[in-house]
């Protein structure tokens, strides 16, 4: 446990992983400030899920940040001309196979904004729901990237140079499998019914059940012997 | 010299330093893509200067990025309730004296965007006009910060992990005095008449001559035995 007055910034996407990370941060005793990015992702449903999660968990503040990452292109998550892959067989990517859903420098940009807000608020602790097990294909979800970012952060800001802050990037779920995340989150009371994980929801906003993200989520619930409380699209 | 086809991203603020850095990058043989940020700085005049500099130097593309750093507060450059200091005596800041014009995590955020664009364009070289001599007060202008960012960048992107890019953050003026920057820039043909350095220009957009940035610029021209070609405010 941390001290009662300790504050943290939590990056909240609206998905299962970051909802679990918020639960872990709060359970550890942190008073949380959440940050969600509208970055040209295909579906605003994620943002609505993040708002619900922040509200249900009574976070101190929830900040929405608009970023135009779509202008750079190069990702199926922001470029409507690229198809989100469905029903792929091998969900565990190797380092040499980076998924088309990768968004260039996304976590670097997200963490940079979190660092700016942390400095202004006088906060040293930043939580992010990166995970190496299921998505080793994303370079900016690896522990070595997080460590390098933390090292850079401690040289980047006035607060660090003046000795007022020593930044720590917390990655509590980085080595967990999806099933472990779901089991742990369920044990600490995370409400997965209000999270959204799908890359390609239907017109009613229901998850497709077929994209990589849905497949990993469903596999995780199955392996955890739990039922996913969200309603999937009829097409799936 | 680099090869004729080598491309670079140059962060262009519209000021004297970044105009010089663009000149150096082009002189080295790089074909340049420029990036300018509208981040809630008090004056849009800087942006207009950046546009002129990009146009005059026929860069391949000039990208303007909107960032709302003002929402975080904490800097005289983005917060209209804070005064830009004028006529300070000691312009060389020590590490323990960070100026109120510091913007939290600014260069971290700028370089993160440059990294995203670099990855999409297949570029490995990024130029930034940071300078330690005149502004040691800004933590994110120091060589150790740049080195840590470069190290992080080489772990952050798909291009780096796949061996397609090895990022280098070029800081050609980091150790130069303002006079040396101006002398070198003048020698390679940088047109300083279209640059803008002032933190607090008058209603006609003319530099005040009194803020830290104007004072450093004027001192630099004086020490270089050259005349600053820009017209200063009559009030100065």
Run of H or E including A150: helix A143-156
DSSP assignment letter at B211 = B
Q: Quick one: closest CA in B to A105, which residue?
A: B116
- Interchain CB distance below 8 Å, B119 and A104: yes
What's this model's pTM, rounded to 2 decimal places? Answer: 0.88
- The residues, ordered by sequence, that sit 6+ positions from A107 with a Cβ below 8 Å of its Cβ are A128, A130, A138, A140, A141, A145, A149, B156
Best mutation site among B72, B94, B100 for testing chain A: the one with the most A CBs within 10 Å? B72
How far apart are the two ends of chain A, measured CA to CA in Å? 42
- Pair B111, B144: CB distance under 8 Å: no
List the single residue in A108, A116, A162 with the smallest CB-CB distance to B98. A162
Report the CATH fold assignment for B7-223: Rossmann fold (3.40.50)
- Interchain CB distance below 8 Å, B155 and A162: no
A7-197 CATH = 3.40.50.620
Sorted by where each begins, the domain ranges of chain B are 7-223
Q: Which of B58, B52, B49 is nearest to B26 (CA)?
A: B58
B82 touches A at CB < 8 Å? no
Per-residue pLDDT of chain B (236 residues), as tens digits, is 777 679 999 999 999 999 999 999 999 999 999 999 988 766 688 899 999 999 999 999 999 988 877 677 666 556 656 565 666 555 554 444 566 666 788 899 999 999 999 998 999 999 999 998 765 578 888 999 999 999 999 999 888 888 888 999 999 999 999 999 999 999 999 999 999 999 889 988 899 999 888 998 999 999 999 999 999 997 55
* CA-based torsion, A40, A44, A45, A51: positive or negative: positive
- The residues, ordered by sequence, that sit 6+ positions from A163 with a Cβ below 8 Å of its Cβ are none
Instruction: Give the residues of chain A that fall short of pLDDT 70.
Output: 4, 41-43, 70, 73-102, 134-136, 235-236
- The residues, ordered by sequence, that sit 6+ positions from B202 with a Cβ below 8 Å of its Cβ are B208, B233, B234, B235
- Pair A32, A60: CB distance under 8 Å: yes
Query: Between chain A and chain B, how many beta carbons pairs sit less than 8 Å apart?
Result: 128
- Interchain CB distance below 8 Å, B157 and A148: no
A135 touches B at CB < 8 Å? no
DSSP characters over B99-145? -TT--TTHHHHHHHHHHHHHHHHT--EEE----TTT-TT-GGGSHHH
Q: Which two tokens mark A74? A: 């190069």
Measure in Å the smallest separation between the Cα of B188 and chain A Cα atoms: 32
Query: Residue B191: its pLDDT value, please?
Result: 97
Beta bridge partners of B62: B34
- The residues, ordered by sequence, that sit 6+ positions from A201 with a Cβ below 8 Å of its Cβ are A43, A45, A207, A208, A233
Rounded to 10 degrees, what is the CA torsion of A106, A111, A116, A119? Answer: 180
Q: Specify the 3-state DSSP secondary structure of A231.
A: coil
Query: Residue B82: its pLDDT value, please?
Result: 59
- Interchain CB distance below 8 Å, A161 and B98: yes
Place of tokens 């910034």: A9
Burial call A164-179: b when 16+ CB within 10 Å, e when fewer: ebebebbbbbbebbbb
Q: Which of B57, B3, B10 is nearest to B33 (CA)?
A: B10
């Amino acid at each position: 446990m941390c001290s009662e007055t300790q504050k943290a910034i939590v990056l909240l996407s609206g998905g299962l992983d970051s909802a679990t990370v918020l639960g872990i941060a709060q359970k550890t005793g942190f008073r949380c400030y959440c940050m969600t990015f509208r970055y040209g992702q295909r579906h605003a449903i994620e943002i609505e899920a993040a708002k619900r999660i922040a509200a249900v968990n009574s976070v101190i503040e929830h900040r929405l940040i608009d970023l135009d990452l779509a202008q750079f292109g190069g990702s199926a998550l922001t470029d409507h001309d690229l198809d989100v892959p469905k029903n792929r067989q091998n969900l565990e990517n190797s380092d040499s196979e980076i998924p088309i859903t990768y968004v260039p420098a996304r976590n670097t940009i997200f963490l940079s904004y979190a660092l700016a807000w942390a400095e202004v608020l006088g906060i040293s602790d930043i939580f992010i729901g990166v995970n190496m097990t299921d998505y080793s294909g994303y370079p900016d979800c690896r522990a070595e990237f997080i460590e390098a970012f933390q090292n850079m952060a401690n040289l980047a800001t006035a607060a660090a140079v003046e000795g007022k802050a020593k930044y720590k990037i917390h990655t509590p779920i980085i080595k967990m499998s999806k099933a472990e995340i779901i089991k742990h989150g369920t044990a600490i009371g995370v409400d997965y019914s209000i999270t959204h994980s799908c890359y390609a929801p239907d017109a009613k906003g229901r998850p497709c059940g077929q994209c990589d993200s849905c497949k990993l989520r469903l596999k995780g619930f199955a392996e955890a012997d739990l039922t996913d409380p969200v309603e999937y699209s009829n097409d799936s």
